[in-house]
Structure 1
């Protein structure tokens, strides 16, 4: 049986996640459900996309991903189900899919139009669960609605190139559990414009001139301990998802703070790279 994943901004205090799982089990008693995250910041499409983009490929083909972030339908936002790279995504057409699949063409896109379904305040339960269970049973997408040709695109989240390729202007798209700050500048873009040049990365008042490949690379083990950089020092690295990330080495967001709090960086703040 196909896996159903859940990614929402519902949190765990309220009844919403439990109700979703109960509704799925009510229709599919032997369902396989995996929680990706329920702690996406409320209505934060970019954060949701970052989490899904870096997790969905770890699941087998045929997995069904329910995306419950900013999920209400409006005259401008449809409910959709998309088949991408062998995976099904059930979501609102609010831009999240375009951010997840930026370089992959969808195999199928359908607007959801289920009969006898009201446009209520809990569409993830009333609509998305029904579509997911339909797919698990072997149902086709053609049954749930009509085919679409386009998806909403959020281009304002892409880095900008300025000064004839001498500058990349990016922004913060994600802050993780450690307070590490992830930018929307990917390694491939950075290297394409760097062309062997030195550079300066500016984030508020911080200046960085080197990007590492892992966290512990900041430590020069050939130096005496009292001369090394280490815990509490700022670094930049290409993270496991291929994005430039700013971090405080071995920090704790809940005690001494992380890069987000210590550098005063928040979602959508600007990070600039100047090539010299």
Structure 2
């Protein structure tokens, strides 16, 4: 056991995060936490969010990518957005750069696969680590939670099931910003609770495109939005663009709601241009 803990470098009190689409109106989150505490009673459970839009794997993947780098080595991330629950889709347990991830094989871990410098993937098949009764509608409770909890408590990853080549895992295809002439085009990936519109356009992409020129953000044919450094640089109630805390372009309204102001949703197109 001492050798196992040294290998995994788990903290004295294991950290286990939850990211789901369960919402907060039902018992689902509480039940999953109960299972976790049954097998890892010392775990510190951190709720990333339970408000991922239902079955929206892409949104969950985006939020995971923005979250996990800020957690210490040894953290176990349980991610349950699983529209394929009850089917033959695989369940994965992943070790990546000292952190661990448990969830369905549906593309949700694509950012982890692309970023990791050290990566091991196992398919979760060791049924003696599952709950005694496994249904077809709640694998987050019956399979993923007990396995994630056991990993947090020190279970060797090799024991959850056979290794799996990462190229055999499902990789989601995410659109990237595209340069077309004098326009850098991207899309809205996420709308946060403030109504800020988070895009897939990075600061690096904008700066490379701008090449020292002043640029603006355009929505539709007529709406031109200035690129500023902070919300307060713009008048209250006015639109602005800026780089968010993850260095990606965001459209906002100072003390307002850009999503409502522009009537924009996830998937909507935005453009960066030097032409005003």
Same fold (TM over 0.5): yes
Task: Flag structure 2 segments of 5+ consecutive residues without an equivalent.
Answer: 1-12
Within a 5 Å distance, the mapping from 1:162-241 to structure 2 comes to 162-163=180-181, 166-205=182-221, 207-208=223-224, 210-218=226-234, 230-241=235-246
1:106 deviates by 4.7
Task: Flag structure 1 segments of 5+ consecutive residues without an equivalent.
Answer: 219-229, 252-257
Which residue of structure 1 aligns with residue 8 of structure 2? none
Which residue of structure 2 aligns with residue 114 of structure 1? 126
Q: Distance in 2 between matches of 1:107 and 1:210?
A: 41
Which residue of structure 2 aligns with residue 64 of structure 1? 76
Which residue of structure 2 aligns with residue 259 of structure 1? 258
Match of 1:21 among 29, 33, 56: 33
Does the aligned pair in 2 maintain the 1:201–1:272 contact within 8 Å?
Answer: yes
Which residue of structure 1 aligns with residue 63 of structure 2? 51
Which residue of structure 2 aligns with residue 42 of structure 1? 54
Does the aligned pair in 1 maintain the 2:14–2:75 contact within 8 Å?
Answer: yes
1:100 deviates by 4.8
1:43 deviates by 1.5
Does the aligned pair in 1 maintain the 2:39–2:150 contact within 8 Å?
Answer: no
User: What is the root-mean-square deviation of aligned Cα atoms in Å?
Assistant: 2.0
Q: Distance in 2 between matches of 1:7 and 1:204?
A: 33
Which residue of structure 2 aligns with residue 225 of structure 1? none
Which residue of structure 1 aligns with residue 173 of structure 2? 155
Which residue of structure 2 aligns with residue 131 of structure 1? 147
Q: Distance in 1 between matches of 2:226 and 2:249?
A: 11
Normalization by structure 2: what TM-score?
A: 0.85
1:112-155 alpha-carbon deviations (Å, 9 max, x no partner)? 11226646210111111121122123211111112122232222
Query: Partner of 2:208: helix, strand, or coil?
Result: helix
Q: 1:43 to 1:100 in 2, by over 3 A?
A: farther
Within a 5 Å distance, the mapping from 1:65-104 to structure 2 comes to 65-70=77-82, 72=85, 74-75=87-88, 77-100=89-112, 102-104=114-116
Q: Distance in 1 between matches of 2:161 and 2:261?
A: 49
Which residue of structure 2 aligns with residue 221 of structure 1? none
Q: Distance in 2 between matches of 1:180 and 1:29?
A: 38
1:44 deviates by 1.7
